[in-house]
Structure 1
């Protein structure tokens, strides 16, 4: 039985900061404001219109826009990489900021200063023997492409994205172990601003034809990346969705039928296209029912069919409940769900379900028979920096231990697992709630929701626990040989 790679993950927009350093351009995440929570489990949402985007562009108060400072990782880069080396991880997943390479997204030539920043990260990781998992686009889209072309609903985005993708593939063609064209691609459906760069004109719902047209363009772009990558670069190419592990609330047939339909649209659709290479039949019924129309060029079907993913990956934080009846609600990863009475929740309302991760691994592997990377998992909650600069996060240690047990159990049951990447291995700004208080890492960053603090790094108790776990795991695997 092969050894699982144990690692961590961050994204450029949540970690780097330095939003105007090195010729970086504004991106969509730079324009998302911090809004205080209205309760333990909910966050206010603000309509992002062209008016609010214009407000963000001229606002000089960086404290209002947390992604502009992130964890100040840009200026703490070597310190953070040394901590990751000390931790002993096998694999590190991070993303490339599109707007750091092409500030407006449609330039003829890339920004060399941005490329050199990532050169340094890759050089250090390679020297340390840490495998590299690159997310090519993690939500953040150059703002100019959204304002000028309308985001991913415009087919021109494929060409601009491919120029960016080919630039970074050519730059690091021999250095990257795993490539991911899009983070949580299904977020384009349930979170269109983040996923596909659509901005609402008013209070109305998003135009669903625009949403699915945008997703189609991302499918084609992903397939074209794989087409190019298989010919020109080393490494494997995958796809990723946000997974939810749906359970029916009751044994009523209506609940179970709704589960199947919701799971198809929210969870399976995007991965079915990217792994199988064609649109599943259930989507054509969905399109008819909701009067959704998308345009495909003649070559699209061939490109999708011939350039499918080598591996699959997903984020998993909590499970979800499906019911046809009204029931108490709670929060989840960019979505809300029905509360599960059998589970405990974090302060943010995310339901803690380690067995759900094992269930998810089985369902994904049974459906696709492709090796799996758990691209994101972790516990987002408040941590306390004590007077002696210690952080006693036994709750996170328990969370990790319980989930790791289920991962190892799934592997013993026959699931082919490549790697596990702990989300926000270094504390980052939360993508869902735009705040620092919701922390995931084993490395504490001394900053708050408004940008106050030293931004010094401190090892949490979970740092030592994860370090010991990785060492012990590999020692036991070597002894088994």
Structure 2
């Protein structure tokens, strides 16, 4: 029996080895097949117009990624307060970012994922409340500062350039409690104090600074509709019941203070740090593209008003020194005035514009024509009506989300618009990504979720549209995809997923999607092509001198 058993064990061992070898071989075969498919369909792009030093990376934000909301001396942020209070009734599933992706504790693992993708840049934001729990009214939190020092150092060690946003929707709750945050000019002093600390502490290694992320999105949601903190709203423009606020006036006050806070931070950077640190500073704005619903002059004017009341609202004062004419004509009495001193500070402007592009809408005039009530249709919003459909035909491929229409041409048009209006100020595409719904159906498998071919197509089409704008002269210097990981998506909680990597929020396990494989191969091919082009250029120069 012993000999027979040993023989059976040897036989099983041989069979097991063959099975294991076969499985490994099959996995490599499947990977090679998937890469071959990607190579033929999604990797053949002409990227020759991209400038030297072009940044390809991913983007994130502190509240959406870090978690650790009470760890190591961090103070409460406005989003901590919101998600534990009124936000529970607004956010899908009553979720919060207490843990999120636990990036605070898992940043090394996440940087390894970035390195595996081959990105050369990573856009992150600093949690203001983590390093200044009480703003300028308290001591800096050394543990919070050390976390960002470690994060930045490891990124640089891995060859990944940090691209840092100072405020990505979150700010210390202390400032809201003390004086109403962005409704008070004191917020400008606090932001300047915070920015100064960041420049002094991290600026020797950070070469790209953004003051704010999407204030043109934050302000209307926080001070008009009330669905973002500080949940202030009133009247028919309110989407929730707010305890206080003025939807007609407060958005313009908050925006004014944010614009001047940006100017204060830029002034500090230019005066004290930029010459030595050799970095650049800008602002990041959401740029939905608006197409006129018809060829009528009224609808064309409405599309421009829509841009003026969203994108140009912030950039015109920063670059051109005044609010857009369309805003002055409609709501001039509600717009705060810039003093002579403030106008001088605004002249410091910015070094680059960050453009977050995702989607587009048709726009119908509501100034000269009657139209139904909807987003944008009030005077304080610009008297236009947004729609994703024209004569029953969608502007682009529709998704499960009414706010997300796939319209790649909008990327080229949005970038070209910025080029033309703002004298071709350097740009970065600071966010662009594909949203899909978290499937609650138990029949929907992880394997189905990981096969995100629609995300790949979305990003290929949008990168090609960006390249088309560059080919026409737009000074675009980087593309930062949203995002590395599934994350907390504000009022949508964890129901919307954007990541190259699936995150199981019960275990926090990261699993790469097909799009991660695509981005990795895309970047590898770009580097190979760029290296070849650089080598050929050097050879041509050598031949010219022989």
For the Cα contact (< 8 Å) 2:219–2:254, is it kept in 1?
A: no
Match of 1:187 among 217, 225, 242: 217
Distance 1:138 1:366, change over 3 A: same
Tell me how far 1:463 sits from its aligned partner: 0.5
Task: Give the drift of 1:109.
Answer: 2.1
**1:45-60 to 2 correspondences below 5 Å:** 52=86
Distance 1:390 1:345, change over 3 A: closer
Counterpart of 1:13 in structure 2 is: 63
- Cα distance change of structure 1 residues 356 and 150 upon mapping to structure 2, 3 Å threshold: same
1:406, distance to aligned residue in structure 2 (A): 1.3
Does structure 1 conserve the Cα–Cα contact (< 8 Å) formed by 2:96 and 2:488? Answer: yes
SS at match of 2:336: coil
CA–CA distance in structure 2, aligned partners of residues 209 and 329 of structure 1: 19
How far apart, CA to CA, are the structure 1 residues paired with 2:65 and 2:180?
Answer: 26
Q: Does 1:22 align with 2:69?
A: no
Residue 300 (structure 1) aligned with residue 353 (structure 2): no
Residue 200 of structure 1 pairs with residue 232 of structure 2: yes
Instruction: Provide, for residues 168-219 of structure 1, a one-character-per-residue CA deviation record: whole Å limited to 9, x for no partner.
Output: 1100121112100111121244223599954427666534333212211111
Structure 1, gaps ≥5 residues long = 35-50, 57-62, 448-452
What SS is found at the alignment partner of 1:181? strand
Is 1:265 paired with 2:309? yes
In 2, Cα distance between equivalents of 1:204 and 1:69:
35
Q: How far apart, CA to CA, are the structure 1 residues paired with 2:400 and 2:236? A: 31
Number of matched pairs: 447
* Candidates 453, 457, 460, aligned match of 1:401: 460
Go from structure 1 to structure 2 and tell me whether the alpha carbon gap of 1:149 and 1:387 turns closer, same or farther (over 3 Å shift).
closer
| 1:317 Cα deviation after fit | 0.5
| Larger CA deviation: 421-430 vs 318-327 | 318-327
Given that 1:330 and 1:338 are in contact with CA atoms closer than 8 Å, whether structure 2 keeps it comes out as no
User: How do residues 274-289 of structure 1 correspond to structure 2 at under 5 angstroms?
Assistant: 274-288=318-332
Structure with the bigger RCO (C-alpha within 8 Å, sep 6+) is 1
Matches for 1:171-186 after TM superposition, within 5 Å: 171-186=201-216
Structure 1 stretch displaced more, 177-186 or 252-261: 252-261
Aligned to 2:434: 379
Q: Which structure dedicates a bigger proportion of its chain to helix?
A: 2
| Contact 1:277/1:304, CA 8 A, preserved across alignment | yes
112 and 389 in structure 1: CA distance in 2 versus 1, 3 angstrom threshold: farther
CA–CA separation in structure 1 for the residues paired with 2:320 and 2:307: 17
| Corresponding residue of 2:412 | 358
- 192-201 or 349-358, which moves further after superposition? 192-201
Give me the whole-angstrom Cα distance separating, in 1, the residues matched to 2:283 and 2:228: 16
Structure 1 partner of 2:141: 111
TM-score (norm 2): 0.76
Q: CA RMSD in A?
A: 2.8
- 2:298 aligns with 254
Structure 2 unaligned residues grouped into runs of 5+: 1-48, 238-245, 377-383, 535-546
Give the aligned partner of residue 488 of structure 2: 429
Task: Tell me how far apart the structure 1 counterparts of residues 172 and 108 of structure 2 sit (CA, whole Å).
Answer: 26
The structure 2 residue matched to 1:345, chosen from 398, 418, 423, is: 398
* Equivalent residues of 1:444, 1:458 under 8 A apart: yes
Deviation per residue, 1:85-131 (Å, 9 max, x gap): 11111111010001101112243321111111111110011111211
> Is contact 1:145–1:151 with CA below 8 Å preserved after alignment?
yes
Note closer, same or farther for the CA distance 1:406–1:387 as it changes in structure 2 (3 Å cut). Answer: closer
Q: 1:470 aligns to what?
A: 523
Runs of 4+ in structure 1 deviating by more than 6 angstroms, as ranges, are: 327-331
Change beyond 3 A, Cα 1:203–1:28: farther
**Structure possessing the higher radius of gyration over alpha carbons:** 2
TM-score, structure 1 as length reference? 0.86
Offset at residue 295 of structure 1 (A): 5.1
- Matches of 1:370 and 1:297, distance apart in 2: 25
Answer yes or no: is the 8 Å Cα contact 1:329–1:339 preserved in 2.
no
Select 2:132's aligned residue among 87, 102, 109.
102
Q: In the alignment, is the contact (CA less than 8 A) between 2:78 and 2:230 conserved in 1?
A: no
Matched with 2:264 is 224
C-alpha distance in 2 between matches for 1:120 and 1:394? 35
Report the CA distance shift for 1:403/1:387 in structure 2 as closer, same or farther (over 3 A). Answer: closer
> How far is the alpha carbon of 1:249 from its aligned partner?
0.7
Distance 2:385 2:81 in 1: 23
Alignment-derived partner of residue 40 in structure 1: none
Q: 2:350 aligns with which of 301, 309, 315?
A: 309
How far apart are residue 283 of structure 1 and its match?
3.3
